[in-house]
Amino acid sequence: MTIQQLLKTAPITTLLLASFIGLFIMQILTGVDANNPSTEALLNWGANALPYTMQDQPWRLVSSAFLHIGLMHLLFNGFAMYFFGQIAEPMFGSAKFLALFLLAAIGGNLLNNYVTWQDIIAGTGQPGISAGASGGIMGIGAALLIAALFKISVNGMVLNLKSLIFIMGINLVYGFAVPGIDNAGHIGGAITGLIIALAFAIGYRQRLAVALQNAAIQQQRHINPYQTNYSYSTHDNTPYNHQYSDPYNDQHDNQAHYNANSIDQSPHLGANSTEQDTAFNDHDMNTSDMHPDTANSVTDIHSSLDNSAAHNSSIEPKALKKASFIWQLLPWIVMLLISIGFVWWWQDIHQQILQVLKAIE
């Protein structure tokens, strides 16, 4: 994918990559070592460090996500951002994608500082320094993992769950196997991304269900106009007696004429004709000659058929449903709650540090 295509498909990913590279170039131009920058240089450029971040410089929770420790660190995170971003940004939307990255990076840095602080209290650790977009990238990877689990498609393609698990597993194992990797930052970012992606997936499923129901209703609306409506009315059809009795009567008249001419020659045939005339006359009767129950039944049938003519036999489709606005806002609500939680978490660690410093003094 070219830069122009990436900028069109994933503009925030392109801008994040440009900021990583631009900041690194600025470091080099100011004399920072490209492979082994000093601790002082990293602190000057906004690295995360417990004594600074958790006291009066909380902005380092964000700035450290754009700073990288050496060229290889930049290349590794840049490739991961390029790989994940061009998929995740079109899926979640640019605004949600940016918020996801930033919150995952903050979550990773906070967990790193919390673990460091707990180690200091326990006497097993000391303040360190961390930097890099790894926490935010792990959050994006975890979000893609949830998307694959919920079978959320990107341009008609569903992500491969096994491949994402493999990639995330390699990153976590690499972090534990190689010294100096911020494992807490990776885990904190991944957990943050999982929570945000769950909210997005739930809202997506609810909106998809409503969209499928509306598609079925639209299909029903498309079919119904072509349905044929059948109606029946006793006034539109020739009565049975009138339609069929006349031919029979004509036949009866002919037969009578024949019998009149041949009665002397064939008395037996004339007798049969008289019986047939009687039979045909028995057929040529109206409902008043029927049994009362039978006459009422016929009348009810005609009445029901007349009523059916006044009603449309097609089924009116249901009204289109509208997805609740809460499902669209759900990811933003969850991210707001996470942000409030991070503020509270930072305040809690900050107060603990102040109390310890006060006790030491």
Q: What does the alpha-carbon distance between residue 239 and residue 234 come to, in Å, rounded to a whole number?
A: 7
CA 102 to chain centre: 24
Catalytic residue among 134, 233, 297, 308: 134
Is 186 designated active site?
A: yes
Instruction: Collect all residues with Cβ–Cβ distance below 8 Å to 318 and sequence separation of at least 6.
Output: 217, 220
Catalytic residue among 186, 231, 245, 303: 186
Q: Which residues pair with 130 in a beta bridge?
A: 48
Both structure tokens of 337: 């709650």
Q: Catalytic residues, which ones?
A: 134, 186
